[in-house]
Structure 1
Amino acid sequence: MFELRQASARGHANFGWLNSYHSFSFGRYYDPAQMGFSALRVINDDTVAPGAGFDTHGHQDMEILSLVLQGNIAHKDSAGNTEVLPAGEYQLMSAGRGIYHSEYNASATEPLKFLQIWLQPNQFGGAPGYQQKAFGEHSGLTLILSPDGRDGSLTLRQDALLYQLMLASGETEHVSIRPGRKVYLHLISGELTVLGQRLQAGDGIKIADETRLAFTAQGAVKALLFDLP
């Protein structure tokens, strides 16, 4: 089973200071057929104007991942974390029993581009958590999130894995899928073929009931690969 989620079909919101594309229902965009996939609830592709950002707001019982694609995020939260997240770094905020935070474009002259990703946890309440790390851009699969922090990954409160996938043009990555697991791939850049489907930047694909996948790059590729319960 697979379902292609084309970038052109995503929800869209433009508030002037924020231009956002929603892979799943979010905010004013609602599609009952796109309420998430397994524990994956949100993928927002955001562009924030210079000096603008999200004022202080709250979250509870959600795993919130940010990946900066261009620029820098200025982050501040009620747990005392005050950080700048540069391009290429991942930030994981576990909201736990409740946390307030703000996110701003740290530049007064250049736009900020980042992915905001929410995963529903399998542990509720508890203290909020904050993690931040750069993983580089190594060829193939790099583990970013896991429930046990294996191989230097960030620790996620859910039975899910997230990999960064980097491929040069013409390269193929073979991935084995455990029985009963689901896969979601979000293509950040380049073109990629999987299961006979050709994906372009911003596209996603939902995959279930498969045991082995082959991802082949047409041009340099950067993608996120979710292994979900």
Structure 2
Amino acid sequence: MEVREGGRRARTEAEGRTTLHSFSFGAHYDPTNTGFSSLVAHNDERLPPGTGYADHPHADLEVVSWVLTGSLRHASTVGSATLAGGDVQRLSAGSGVVHAETAAGAGTTRFVQAWVRPDESGLAPSYVREPVVLGGPGAGWTCVADGDGGGVVPIAARGTSLHVADLADGVRLELPDRPRLHAMVVAGPGDGAMVGERRLVDGDVARLLDEGGRTVTGVGRAQLVVWSFERA
């Protein structure tokens, strides 16, 4: 298990926005950290009201956004929506798409956005947005996005899934049983999760190899956002 603490992750601050990066991104180039399995970007975004990203292009990426708090307005050439906390969207960029994202609410909007390489290039672009209802602390995992048809939204990457779960103090949960896991903790001050003997707090990320099924224990209230992969 490799842990990257939220306070030490690469940070971009521009026009009021703050982004924490899990991987090499933009000006933060690191040839030893360009991705994990098919995951090539995993950004923890915080947007004050009215800030965001103007129209910009993507191609051959599955762009999955999980909204934690606030309201996010998404506009693209293949679909548009306003997302609230607990909503997920998937933009399949395929052969090429242009989109924009803006904080739409009165407070700061926080969302986690992942870029996943699809199995095939040049697919027809598409967009979907769905609300997600988690079962609450102790209810286990909700499959939010999945490449094999089992999630709230589909992605064009077989053997790849996004699972989310809420934890409460002392609640134990087994991580998805897959060989590669990328887990992020979302929590308030003083809260977090224990992964083995390592305590993870808000914004911390753990990458695990051959550790599927390891037990995680809640410390206060926390949410786990976990990408899992069947192959390298």
Q: TM-score, normalised by structure 2?
A: 0.90
Residue equivalent to 1:43: 42
Matched residues in 2 for 1:72 and 1:211: separation? Answer: 33
2:203 matches 1:202 = yes
Q: CA deviation at 1:221?
A: 1.5
Matched residues in 1 for 2:8 and 2:210: separation? Answer: 24
Q: How many correspondences in the alignment?
A: 223
Residue equivalent to 2:164: 164
Residue equivalent to 2:29: 30
User: What secondary structure does 2:7 align onto?
Assistant: helix
Residue equivalent to 1:86: 84
User: What secondary structure does 1:47 align onto?
Assistant: strand
Residue equivalent to 1:119: 116
Instruction: Give the alignment of 1:65-214 within 5 angstroms.
Output: 65-79=64-78, 81-107=79-105, 109-138=106-135, 139-150=139-150, 152-159=151-158, 160-175=160-175, 177-178=177-178, 181-189=179-187, 190-214=191-215
- 1:74-116 CA-to-partner distances (Å, cap 9, x unmatched) read 111112x121111210111110111001111123x43222112
Matched residues in 2 for 1:174 and 1:87: separation? Answer: 25
Q: CA deviation at 1:195?
A: 2.9
Structure 2 counterpart of 1:136, one-letter code: V
Q: TM-score, normalised by structure 1?
A: 0.91
CA spacing shift, 1:169–1:116, aligned 2, 3 Å: same
Matched residues in 2 for 1:8 and 1:111: separation? Answer: 19
Moved over 3 A (4+): none
Residue equivalent to 2:224: 223
Question: Contact 2:181–2:212 (CA<8 Å) still a contact in 1?
Answer: no
- The answer to which structure has the higher strand fraction is 1
Q: CA deviation at 1:136?
A: 1.4
Structure 2 counterpart of 1:167, one-letter code: L
Matched residues in 1 for 2:46 and 2:211: separation? Answer: 34
Matched residues in 2 for 1:196 and 1:73: separation? Answer: 36
Structure 1 counterpart of 2:41, one-letter code: V
Matched residues in 1 for 2:175 and 2:81: separation? Answer: 35
Q: CA deviation at 1:176?
A: 5.5
Matched residues in 1 for 2:2 and 2:163: separation? Answer: 20
CA spacing shift, 1:172–1:50, aligned 2, 3 Å: same
Q: CA deviation at 1:28?
A: 1.1
User: What secondary structure does 2:145 align onto?
Assistant: strand
Question: Contact 2:186–2:192 (CA<8 Å) still a contact in 1?
Answer: no
Gaps of 5+ in 2: none
CA spacing shift, 1:3–1:137, aligned 2, 3 Å: same
User: What secondary structure does 1:212 align onto?
Assistant: coil
Gaps of 5+ in 1: none
CA spacing shift, 1:86–1:193, aligned 2, 3 Å: same
Matched residues in 1 for 2:140 and 2:69: separation? Answer: 22
CA spacing shift, 1:10–1:154, aligned 2, 3 Å: same
Residue equivalent to 1:14: 13
- 1:143-193 CA-to-partner distances (Å, cap 9, x unmatched) read 11111322x521111120110021111010124524xx2111111123111
Percent identical pairs in the alignment equals 30
Matched residues in 1 for 2:125 and 2:228: separation? Answer: 24
Question: Contact 2:81–2:129 (CA<8 Å) still a contact in 1?
Answer: no
